Amino acid sequence: MKIIGAEHSLVLAAKTAHILGAELLSAEFRSFPDGELYVRADAPAEDLVIIGSITNSDSLIQLLLLIDACEEADSLSLVIPYMGYARQDKKFRPGEPISARAVALALSQGIDRVYTINIHENTVLDHFVVPAENISIAERISDYIRSMKPGNPLILAPDEGAADFASDVASFGGFEHDHLQKIRLSGTEVNIAPKNMDANGRTVFIVDDIISTGGTLATAAGMLKEQGAAEVHAACVHGVFTNGGYARLAAAGIKSVAASDTIESGASSFSAAESISAALRGR
């Protein structure tokens, strides 16, 4: 097995190759003067794994070109650590595309198998025309939380929809968990608090698959502090942090904000490499 990384996942590809003891191949990425992208890969005709996140439209085109450049591989697997467009998984208004389907169909060409990391909705996997598997890195987040040696920790999902993910994170560390719920007090006032647990005196970790703008988490953190939480931390798989999301969380008094390296940034505090390696070993 050999590993090759797309431009936005080079560090993650290198970590995965190191864990597997696999050769890491190089590739060239650049743009022509008119904005068109150029890719060249040292891709042998062997068992090959491409690791590439879709963080914007250029990275999607780059990944499509890299797949085509590796067409001579005997076996070609694709790991998509962060799949942009996956949240556009239905028609929200008439005339809209199902963007997740369009992207999945395009990426299926020339690929034997696909792996995603904590994809927003598992139903997106059905749009690939090759076998597709979702990998969870809940255990990696749990390991990160445990490494901080928190006092009296409480794992919280930001809403009921993320409760299962919070439960998974908590189960690996033997932590208590709950989810936040909004209670409307008046036409203009809303309270956000754990549904069943008391945050008073506890070290709270709000966990989710994606942190985007961070607006809801920032509001929740302020209210949790008012409810007596000793500290509030945030951790996620995919740190998108759009529109100043990271700064918004820091300004809200969240003591630490951590994400994985599915989107490589300064907030990448734990890696998806171990989980990817385990999935690739089990093919």
Q: Hey, is 87 helix, strand or coil?
A: coil
Task: Return the residue matching tokens 């439209």.
Answer: 57
- Angle subtended by helix axes 99-107 and 57-69, to nearest 10: 20
Which segments of the chain are extended strands (E)? 2-5, 23-25, 27-31, 37-41, 47-51, 75-80, 113-117, 132-135, 153-157, 176-184, 190-194, 203-211, 231-239, 256-258
Contact 4, 41 (CB under 8 A): yes
Q: Residue 206 and residue 217: Cα distance in Å, rounded?
A: 8
What distance lies between CA 234 and its chain's CA centroid? 14
Cβ neighbours for 186, distance < 8 A, ≥ 6 positions apart: none
Backbone angles phi, psi at 213, to 5 degrees: -80, -25
Which of the residues are catalytic? 182
DSSP codes of every residue in 149-198: --SSEEEEESSGGGHHHHHHHHHHHT-EEEEEEEEE-SSS-EEEEESSS-
